[in-house]
Amino acid sequence: MLFKQVAGNNSIKEALIQQVQHNRVSHAQLFFGPEGSGCLPMAIAFAQYISCLHKQANDSCGSCSSCIKFEKLVHPDFHMVFPVNTNSSIKKDASCDDFIAEWRSMIADNPYFNLYDWLKSLGIENKQGNIGTDEGTNMIRKLNLTTYESEYKIMLIWMPECLHHTTANKLLKILEEPPEKTVFLLVAESRDQLLVTIQSRTQAMRFKPLSDEEIGQFLIDEQAIENQKAVQIAALSEGNLNKALKLSQEAELLKKDIDDFLDWMRICFKINMPKLLVWVDKMAGVGRENQKNFLAHAVQLTRQTLMLNLNLPELVKLSQTDKELLKKFAQFVNAGNCDDLLTAFDKAYYALERNANAKMLFLNLSFRVSTLLNRKMELKSVA
């Protein structure tokens, strides 16, 4: 991770770069701040900068052999410790090494995640995350390894709040007599939950919630989100980039669903057979879970459309852009056909659960939807 890929916090970036430039990297540092403020990506960018073989004035080079390993989080001198617990695949003595692949992919997806997100990705969100006693032994073993490629060995400990007290004491001992050329980066949300002795042995960097501007800029630069949407999401995310990223994903998914749904409705309404057959083929190929999701969203969107139609805006849970999209469809949904449309979607959903043939099912469903949508038009013309 490069510094330029980390959201905001420019004064902290500058201070970290200065440490390296002036050869004053302190051996134990604590990065702490609220969820989504970016302590973890900053610590990774810092570790990469320390190890980069062709450091630039403001960032790692991004292309040396060290940087390339850091991109994949596989550098042999960079160790990461994080809370874990047993799950359906690791049934006892869970250690960080057991979950390193999941950890790497989590960071690649969104390095602003919180502890709940992490445990949820392991299927154990109802358990506690621990950095247990065995992990302390593993830490010492890893530190005793000779440095492979870098001047420094770096050990990042994420959520040290979860350290077992025996492990915390082991860590404290190491921090009191630090091995040479070793850097500890502790990345926490709450400083107060750490042993006072650990607090006093580490140099602290406090991260504040990100500003709306910092979040907006990150969404535009790193997520390619259009300006206006980025500003809207930033305003809703309370300085928490994790929340902002989740909001933007939901918005994207919803947008795609609405587009897909409206395409289908248009095809049904006009009874465009060639297009309908292509659509049915496509739907038949997306897999059972996606088909069920599509129908579940069709139910939601139809309900929302009726709310729009009945002028009950307080019940409509859509953004302004999505409302505009659905408004065009709203004229074909009314109290007279809405129930029948919902029933048709529901029936199809349950038929899918009972392994109905997807092609036949979506073809029949489309004909039924077509009849229902056009029924509205007839009523209108009579009126």
Cα–chain-centroid distance for residue 362? 32
350 residue type, one letter = Y
DSSP 195-206: -HHHHHHSEEEE
Measured from the CB atom, is 148 or 177 closer to Zn ion?
148
124 C-beta neighbours (distance < 10 Å), count: 18
- In the complex with Zn ion, which residue's Cβ is closer, 53 or 330? 53
CB 191 within 8 A of CB 202: no
At closest approach, how far in Å is the CB of 62 from Zn ion? 6
| Pair 175, 202: CB distance under 8 Å | yes
- Tell me the CB-side half-sphere exposure of residue 347, using CA atoms within 13 A: 13
Question: 19 vs 309, which CB is nearer to Zn ion?
Answer: 19
Give the tokens for residue 101.
Answer: 């692949």
Q: How far is the CB of 19 from Zn ion (least distance, A)?
A: 17
Alpha carbons within 13 A on the beta-carbon side of 141: 7
Spatial distance between the Cα atoms of 40 and 12, rounded to a whole number of angstroms: 13
Ordered strands of the 28-32 beta sheet: 78-81, 153-158, 182-188, 28-32, 203-206
Whole-angstrom distance, CA of residue 16 vs CA of residue 345: 56
Q: How many residues does the chain have?
A: 383
Give one DSSP letter per residue of 178-246, joined into a string: PPTTEEEEEEES-GGGS-HHHHHHSEEEEPPPPPHHHHHHHHHHHH---HHHHHHHHHHSTT-HHHHHH
64 or 296: whose CB is closer to Zn ion? 64
* Residue 357 CB neighbour total at 10 angstroms: 12
Identity of the residue, 75 or 243, whose beta carbon is nearer to Zn ion in the bound complex:
75
Name the helix (H) or strand (E) containing 78.
strand 78-81
* Geometric angle at alpha carbon 140, from 137 and 142, rounded to 5°: 110
Chain contacts with Zn ion (rule: CB under 5 A): 52, 60-61, 64, 67
Q: Minimum CB separation from Zn ion for residue 132, in Å?
A: 34
Q: How far is the CB of 50 from Zn ion (least distance, A)?
A: 11
Closest CB 185 distance from Zn ion, rounded Å: 18
Task: State in angstroms the smallest separation of the CB of 2 from Zn ion.
Answer: 9
CB environment 268-283: b (16+ within 10 A), e (fewer): bbeeeeeebeebbeeb
